[in-house]
Amino acid sequence: MPKPRTFPGAATAPAPAPAIPLVKADYERLSHFRHRLRQFLRVSEELCRRNGLTPLQYQLLLHVRGLPGREWASVGELAERLQARHHGVVALIDRCERRELLERRTGRSDQRVVEIHLLPKGARLLAKVAALHQGEVHRLLDELPVLR
């Protein structure tokens, strides 16, 4: 049997808990959560496409802007956030760079690091699409206490 692929920093499956049988309510809660999560993702995908971005391009821009503590991200950090392989993220960055959404810069404190920065066009597009997500985000967050 082939070994499952893992990604750097990816969350690993927790150790199996002692076999405690699930009750109907557990299945209902899990089903509802997965349903609402999929609805959110579907709405997000449509918002991205209507505004000229692929869902992955939007996520890339979001993670560059949303990384805590600074206004740039490394390729490795973006690969972790996207749960993707390094070379796939590099290709995604290439496509966004051609669209003038972001740019690579040599690291200021460590020249071995490549910093990914949003360009004004990417920042404007991200701000527009992220704002369009807010209603659905709030609806989903309102439901989360019910899912516990």
* pLDDT tens digits along 85-101: 999 999 999 999 999 99
Least confident among 3-12, 56-65, 73-82, 114-123: 3-12
Cα–Cα distances (Å) from 64 to 1, 61, 146, in that order, read 37, 5, 32
In CATH, which of 3.80.30.20, 2.30.42.10, 1.10.10.10, 2.40.50.100 is domain 25-147?
1.10.10.10
For residues 119-128, give the mean pLDDT: 98
Could you tell me the two tokens for 124? 């404007």
- Domain limits of the chain? 25-147
User: In whole angstroms, what is the distance from residue 116 CA to residue 120 CA?
Assistant: 13
pLDDT tens track for 24-60: 999 999 999 999 999 999 999 999 999 999 999 999 9
Q: What's the mean pLDDT when you consider all of the chain?
A: 89
User: In whole angstroms, what is the distance from residue 118 CA to residue 71 CA?
Assistant: 8
pLDDT of residue 107: 85
What global pTM score does this model have?
0.83
For residues 50-75, give the mean pLDDT: 96
